[in-house]
Amino acid sequence: MIIINIKENESIDKALKRFKKKFEKTGVLRELRSRTAFTKPSIRKRGTKLRAAYRQTMFAKENY
């Protein structure tokens, strides 16, 4: 359960923004979306390898 303590003279908008940030950090929504559709482990591995290769090329471009 996420608990947000509202400070004195704090607007509802700011408190709501803090709540949204905390909720996003927990990763509940991301996990829920990933569980809706099954992905094969081989496809998941392929995606991680592609992301790693992309990051590596971007890092190599920064060093030049």
Query: pLDDT of 13-63, one tens digit each?
Result: 999 999 999 999 999 998 999 899 899 999 999 999 999 999 999 988 877
Q: What's the pTM?
A: 0.53
The answer to whether 19 touches 4, Cβ cutoff 8 Å, is yes
Among candidate residues 31, 1, 4, the one with its CA nearest the CA of residue 18:
4
- pLDDT for the residue numbered 46: 97
- pLDDT for the residue numbered 41: 94
Task: Tell me the CA distances in angstroms from 20 to 14, 40, 41, 50, 58, one per residue in order.
Answer: 10, 31, 31, 30, 30
Residues 19 and 24: their CA atoms lie apart, in Å, by 9
